Structure 1
Amino acid sequence: MSARAAISTTADAGAGRRAIVIGGGLTGMLAAQALAGEAHVTVIERDTLPDAPEPRKGLPQAHHAHLLWSGGADAIETLLPGTAEALAGRGARRIPLTAGMVGLSPQGWFRRWDESNYVIGCTRDLLDAVVREMTREHSGDRITVLQRTEVLGLEGDASMVTGVRIRRAGGAEDVLSAGLVVDASGRSSRTPQWLGVLGVRAPACRVVDSGLVYASRVYRAPEKTHHMAWPIINIQAVNRGEGPGQSGVILPVEDGRWLVTLSGTKGGQPTGSNDDFLPFARRLRHPVVGELIENLTPLTDTRISRTTVNSRRFYEKTAVPRGFVVLGDAVAAYNPAYGHGMSVAALSALTLRDTVRRYGWADPGVSRRVQKGVAAHVNTAWSFAAGSDVFYPGATENGPTLGERVAARFVDRLIHTATGSGRVARGVTDVMTLQAGPHTLARPSALVAAIRGPLKPPLSQPPLTAEERRALAAT
């Protein structure tokens, strides 16, 4: 069934057993699936959802590399069993970590230890399309999608949200009542303004802006690599160096392609020029990204994005009305370099499902419990993204806090140790992939390992295997 065929404007249910999800993107679809077992769900999407893996108007960042870490992939599989198989059948790559990564950290090259976690490599368009398809397959008629429909505001008062006011595609305005409303509308969320109308103080907000710009192109991968377990190539930025932070990643995606994304902060940003793309890649801390794509055929022009600000709204500390929850980028949006947005969204949707199941649909504390559970996932991603970007000049008004400085020194030491210690590398990867919380890195064994430092000497070159080098030599 196509996305358009799933539209129904007449489906009805008792308002107390109806949920409304604002936004039909990845977060919104996962949230709808999370609630579909408890109520009829109406998803309100202002744009038109494509029928296939195609660009979506409200998601310009889809052109850039997106990482779905194993923590998020496992959460999606729990909500939508069979998604991993469906993605694999469409060409998505399951890339083991750190065995499938050639990565240069600020402290040196990572070794390719045995698998402990993984990442899914595919385009954002494919991931979103498969999640939409799987949601339709699993939900039956329990989810209605209203496309080309805009939410104008919330209904209710400071104590309880009872629904939303909408403007339909033809211009007619209406009120939809619901027992639960979920804002999954992304970075452009208007919830702070909507809550203000209801008499609720807007949540505190922290913004960390490094001035990061992304530039991406898709290349035809070397033919010899099409059927290999090709690794991610990742040159990370140094956030406390003398100059701007610059990075580059090659992500193997479906259909024998490499999605190459370059980035730079203020004073070192990439441009949208095709002629500048390769030289920028070669100027990174190590030229391997440029060397690998130099003789490849580009399949697209360069596309850039400047929507990279880290912003977090502390809804878990706000008196949010009953019957209302905020998820995904509407809560916190991150520097995409760390790839946590999708995984946090998936884990948050799973928290929504489990909390509603445990405490019951009508429990007055459900919204507050969900928001606190979401904050736990956000904390981990925020510590990586904003906790790094805060050190770039001008990223915040007052610079990093004392706590951020202390945490950064500890993380630096852990990463340095991880370049030569498989056990510490696995611990760091557990947290990076959102399979574990940051507290696991403060265990006595991790602290002792960090004090000792790496057990193996540093690598001087990218740890490509002999087979990988032969495949490249054949191009």
Structure 2
Amino acid sequence: MTERPTTAVVLGGSLAGMLAARALADVAGHVTVVERDVLPAGPEPRRGLPQARHVHQLWSGGVHALEELLPGIVGRLHDAGAHRLPVTEDMVALSPYGWYRRWAESHHMLLCSRDLLDATVRAAVLADERISLVDGTEVLGPVGSAAAVTGVRIRPHRSGAAERTLPADLVVDATGRGSRAAHWLTELGLPEVERREVDSGVAYASRVFLAPAGAREGFPVVNVQPDPRTGEPGRGGVLLPVEDGRWIVTLFGSRGAEPPTGAADFLRYAREDLRHPVIAELLTHAEPLTDVAYTRTTANRRHHHERMAAWPENFAVVGDALCALNPIYGHGMSVAAQSAVALRDTVRRHGWGSAGLARRIQKAVARPASAAWDLALGMDVFYPGATENGPTLRERLVAAYVGRLLYTATGNGRIAARVTDVTSLERGAEVLLTPSVLLAALVGPLRPALSGPPLTAEERKAAGLSP
């Protein structure tokens, strides 16, 4: 650390930006968050986050990182209505290879609405006197050169407001899918960044329901997954219990099988178009609370900033601005939390002003993003039209092996636990390549396939279904 006060500016006030600001507050004198929208005071929708209307979960790998950044935040979320769901003990999931059994807990998820999560985290972050918020303000671009960024130009939205420059020892772009970082870098004189997009064409339709009275506490997640290997459009759905006894239900379909945009056909799609009608059955006695929220912004998009031959000092890119993922896999928020920890630890390890610090930051935050990227591509790359040339040979080979593991996991609890090691972002994919896992994949499931969803008799009764 240098002796003079250091300043950081974070662009974007969503979850990734707030967590980056909290991470930097531990290693900088002051952090300013610049946000385009005027942020709400509580758990309310905001215009710049339309995907908040759909299902979200925080995997345990992200939960641990969140608690490390904001000690006590998980308890605050629980007090506000969020709940802890053990994986796979409280999951009813139809995979492309059959129903998973509800094995004993290996990891967990934190479940609540995105509005509640963002508001709770935002309040905790902005309570820190080292962090200030400038919202209702447009980011015009960085100041500096190809060698180093020295600040950022901003302009408030209010009429007649003048442009000004915020100087910074580090500028972090967390502006999400709409990030202009690639354009800013070329304007500074740097080459174009390597970029890949895998667009499965998936559209989402979501509604919020009030669960039947008996099913408002302790109900499992229900997930009907598509099978992208068939070459046909995929259709799926997720029922996610959140706070206040509500269920968020998201139906999704790829090109040619998009879910309906209106309420009239919502249940019909869940009943007739998914691989199993369990979600529609569970909604029979639930009360709809909202209209259908719809989005098509689901493409996986990866900017490989860490591979660039030249990178300016004092600039970093995180969150969806770096790696935007199909939200259905639920990894974006966990990646944001893990990346924020990596950002803080990199500055601590090397110190402000050290040569190549920004490049080191970019490589560090790329690691959790890359892990989630590989998981998303393992499914989405197989949808028709997802890429120009289809999956690569490597992607086909990896998918074949992962598919064998998922099939084995339907009837082998040990392999199910190893798979959730990776999907929870707690461990790297190397745990799936040990000799014992390879042997188990060769043998296959140890127990016969389930014939239907593994809901207990009590859960069926609570939801108003016959035993």
| TM-score band, normalised by shorter chain | over 0.9
1:239, 1:444 → 2: CA distance? Answer: 28
Structure 1 partner of 2:297:
307
Q: Determine whether 1:425 maps to 2:420.
A: no
1:258, distance to aligned residue in structure 2 (A)? 0.4
SS in 1 for 2:261: coil
- The partner residue of 2:327 within 311, 336, 355 is 336
Cα pair 1:16 1:179 within 8 Å, conserved: no
Map 1:394-405 → 2, pairs under 5 A = 394-405=385-396
Cα pair 2:212 2:463 within 8 Å, conserved: yes
Structure 2 partner of 1:96:
86
- The partner residue of 2:306 within 295, 316, 327 is 316
- The partner residue of 1:179 within 135, 160, 169 is 169
Tell me, which stretches of 5 or more residues in structure 1 are unaligned? Answer: 1-13
Counterpart AA for 1:35: L
Alpha-carbon spacing, 1:292–1:439, altered in 2? closer, same or farther (3 Å): same
Structure 1 partner of 2:373:
382
Map 1:201-280 → 2, pairs under 5 A = 201-227=191-217, 229-280=218-269
Counterpart AA for 1:265: S
Q: Determine whether 1:115 maps to 2:113.
A: no
1:365, distance to aligned residue in structure 2 (A)? 2.3
Structure 2 partner of 1:410:
401
Counterpart AA for 1:44: V
Map 1:14-25 → 2, pairs under 5 A = 17-25=6-14
* Most deviating of 368-377 and 337-346: 368-377
* Most deviating of 143-152 and 377-386: 377-386
SS in 1 for 2:258: coil
Report runs of 4+ in structure 1 exceeding 4 Å deviation: none
1:36, 1:369 → 2: CA distance? Answer: 19
CA shift digits 1:202-253 (9 cap, x unpaired) = 21110111111000000010111223x2100000111111421111000000
Structure 2 partner of 1:167:
155
SS in 2 for 1:362: coil
Q: Determine whether 1:370 maps to 2:374.
A: no
1:313, 1:271 → 2: CA distance? Answer: 32
- Give the alignment's Cα RMSD to 1 decimal: 1.4
1:180, 1:361 → 2: CA distance? Answer: 9
SS in 2 for 1:249: strand
Counterpart AA for 1:384: L
- Structure 1 length normalisation: TM-score? 0.95
2:149, 2:211 → 1: CA distance? Answer: 50
Alpha-carbon spacing, 1:275–1:462, altered in 2? closer, same or farther (3 Å): same
SS in 1 for 2:228: coil
Q: Percent identity?
A: 56
2:212, 2:464 → 1: CA distance? Answer: 10
Cα pair 1:15 1:179 within 8 Å, conserved: no
Cα pair 1:21 1:182 within 8 Å, conserved: yes
SS in 2 for 1:473: coil
Q: Determine whether 1:352 maps to 2:343.
A: yes
Q: Determine whether 1:292 maps to 2:290.
A: no
Structure 2 partner of 1:448:
439
CA shift digits 1:53-106 (9 cap, x unpaired) = 000110001000011101011100000011111111111121000001000000
Aligned residues: 460
1:395, 1:242 → 2: CA distance? Answer: 11
Map 1:126-145 → 2, pairs under 5 A = 126-137=116-127, 139=128, 141-145=129-133
1:472, distance to aligned residue in structure 2 (A)? 2.2
Structure 2 partner of 1:11:
none
- Structure 2 length normalisation: TM-score? 0.96
Structure 2 partner of 1:200:
190
CA shift digits 1:381-413 (9 cap, x unpaired) = 111212311111111111111111111001100
1:15, 1:254 → 2: CA distance? Answer: 45
